[in-house]
Chain A
Amino acid sequence: MMKKTTLTMAAILTAAAVMTGCTSSAPTAPASSAAAGSDTAAAASGESYKIGVFTKDSTTAFWRYVVQGAMAKGEELGVEVIEYAPASYTDSAGQLSMVEDSISAGVDAICIASCDSTAIVPALEKATAAGIPVVIFNTLVPDFKDNITFVGVDNYDASYRVTEELIKAHDGKGNLVILEGDPAGYQNIERTRAVTDLAEKYPDVNIITRQPGYANREKSMNAMENILQAYSDIDMVWAINDVAAMGCVQAIEGAGRTGIDVIGIDGTPEGATAAKDGRLKFTIDQGPFDQGAMSVQAAVDYLNGKEIEENYATGGTIVGTDNADAFLQEFYPDFNK
């Protein structure tokens, strides 16, 4: 009798756990900019469009800023912006389902930063077939040709620029560590390609090791700690993004080592603050607000029949100690207050 009750309860709990796990990939309460001042705006654009904005995950700060930018633009234009994001950027299957669900829900346009640029293609093709325009932002999807535009930073470019800045600050020579993200990720491949190309351009720059930190703070920190053990002479550290870079910075400070410059990518306020305090050498802004806002703008313009560009570049500011304060004031005045 007892065994039966236990088994039933166990089954119920397992089901609940599984379901909770599943719901984590459901849209986080589709947030939308229900057009408050919709009268004026609606009159201006003609009708209240539904724009789906798909970010890589719902938890990283960067994507929150993208969504903020998108929402603000949505309010300004009088359109409804619906956010879709899985709990983790590894959940590409979840993102795919979200795209399909949004098509059934009748979105008018899709703006998407894909978790996996190969897996997402079929879903995007479905969207096009349903007559829904697709804006790609942040990360290219090379196998999908029918997007109306690309908004964001060219990963190769951004990485190239900020890394070259670092190399120049070291007079073109020194030992460099690459703390990459997911080695199979498209973004990672593009960003690291810039580094390896620069290493060729500057022959006195040695890439002494290349380890994956999976763009995760803890893992990057652990990897960096181990690298510090193995190599006594390190001048520069390239990290896939600010979060990984901060993990490296912690590792270096925790080990009491000095004379190592770390750079990141993304221009997050945390990174900028670290640059201001001299703990991070450089980071490069990706312009998350703009990524969100300009994607929405492009989508709406397209729906209204206006002509749009093939590419919209965002961000691009290299943030270092000198300009960090100003950068923060402009974009993230409320950070850490």
Chain B
Amino acid sequence: MKGKDFLMKYSRIVILVLIMAGVSIASPDFLKPSNLLNVARQSSMLLIMSLGMTCAMLLGRGVDMSIGATLSLTSCVAAGFLRSNDTVGSVLIGIVIALVIGMFIGLINGVLISYLHLPAILVTYGVREIIRSVAFFYMDGDIISGFHKFVMFMGSGFAFGAIPTQIIIALVLTAATAWMLKHTRMGRELYVVGANPSAAKFSGLKAEKSVILGFVLSGALAALAGIVYLGRLGAAEAEIGNQFHFQCVSAVAIGGISFAGGAGSAWGAVIGALILNILINGMNLLNISSYWQGTVNGVIIIVAVLLDYVVRK
């Protein structure tokens, strides 16, 4: 019985290694340092978003469909602010603005889901549509570009010479999230409320608090991703961020999140994001049509859900 858990824990790393081996055999370009760095870079954005998704999904209420829209709105509003303010200090204020917006969206999600007992997937879908419209109205077709170099540094710069800053930011956020989930009471309550909401209630815990927290964290991380994305794309558009939630669900699913709640980890999200991007990278290197990427994504989600269901039986 313990063996099953051990397998669960390390199976993902094993799968990661196997996939890397497979892809590098199929395409020698894979192991080129610049390619690996590229994959790591592309995984960074997905990873930050997946951290947020993990926090939300730990509660077992369902997925957060609004993260892509939150990313878009926060990056647009921050860009709007940064357009006319060009100092490092204003970059920090821009980050704060983005966080406030992201957390507010998360708050709305959390309140509707916890107090009104509405299914998360529907609530966040509705919120997403609203946020999208807000972003469109705000940008009114504009593109904002040309940011302070600190922003660009975060998104596409290199620290210590050769390491892309995005990766460092993503890893720092992962470590912070992992620490929070394991070592803080509020992080623990996410697991407890998700694993068995009824037992949590009978233990005197308030589920609403944790549900709101989970979605606020999701919004906050999407907002941080929004800032990094500004640096990565070099521009803000209302249309961005559409691809993310499906990839996120795949990534966290591979990473071991249980759709029923109560299980999952920040480092699991790392593995999930990496595996997903390595598969996509492999397909690109082998010149497999990008049309297949949707299929791969879909198959992964289904397999992950099935495995989760089977293992839990």
Verify whether A and B have any Cβ pair under 8 Å. Answer: yes
Which A positions have Cβ atoms within 8 angstroms of B? 2, 5-6, 9-10, 13-14, 16-17, 20-21, 24, 58-61, 63-64, 87-88, 211-212, 216-219, 221-223, 225-226, 228-230, 243, 246-247, 249-250, 253-256, 268, 270, 273, 336
Q: List 18 A-B contacts (CB under 8 A).
A: A5-B117, A9-B116, A10-B118, A17-B125, A21-B129, A58-B141, A88-B239, A218-B243, A226-B38, A226-B284, A228-B38, A229-B38, A230-B285, A243-B143, A253-B234, A270-B143, A270-B145, A336-B144
Choose one: B38, B126, B141, B158; the contact of A16 (CB below 8 Å): B126
Choose one: A5, A59, A256; the contact of B139 (CB below 8 Å): A59
Does B118 contact A9, Cβ atoms closer than 8 Å? yes
Please encode chain B, from 239 to 259, with 1 for each CB lying within 8 Å of some chain A CB and 0 for all others: 110010000000000000000
Kindly list chain A residues whose C-beta atoms are within 8 Å of the C-beta of B129.
17, 20-21, 24
Choose one: A87, A228, A250; the contact of B156 (CB below 8 Å): A250
Choose one: A21, A24, A64, A222; the contact of B141 (CB below 8 Å): A64
Query: Taking each of B41, B126, B136, which has the highest tally of chain A beta carbons within 10 Å of its own beta carbon?
Result: B126
Q: A87-B136, A218-B240, A225-B38 are in contact. Are A13 and B123 (CB under 8 A)?
A: yes
Does A253 contact B83, Cβ atoms closer than 8 Å? no
Kindly list chain B residues whose C-beta atoms are within 8 Å of the C-beta of A336.
83, 144-146
Which stretch in B27-35, B96-104, B212-220, B302-310 binds the other chain?
B27-35
Choose one: A58, A212, A219; the contact of B136 (CB below 8 Å): A58
Query: Taking each of A225, A229, A243, A253, which has the highest tally of chain B beta carbons within 10 Å of its own beta carbon?
Result: A229
Does A212 contact B240, Cβ atoms closer than 8 Å? no
Kindly list chain A residues whose C-beta atoms are within 8 Å of the C-beta of B42.
222, 225
**Distance in Å: Cβ of A305 to nearest Cβ of chain B:** 35
Does A63 contact B235, Cβ atoms closer than 8 Å? no
Kindly list chain A residues whose C-beta atoms are within 8 Å of the C-beta of B132.
24
Does B130 contact A20, Cβ atoms closer than 8 Å? yes
Kindly list chain A residues whose C-beta atoms are within 8 Å of the C-beta of B221.
none
Does A6 contact B233, Cβ atoms closer than 8 Å? no
Does B141 contact A218, Cβ atoms closer than 8 Å? no
Question: Whose C-beta in chain B lies nearest to the C-beta of A226?
Answer: B284
Kindly list chain A residues whose C-beta atoms are within 8 Å of the C-beta of B116.
9
**Distance in Å: Cβ of A151 to nearest Cβ of chain B:** 20
Kindly list chain B residues whose C-beta atoms are within 8 Å of the C-beta of A230.
29, 284-285
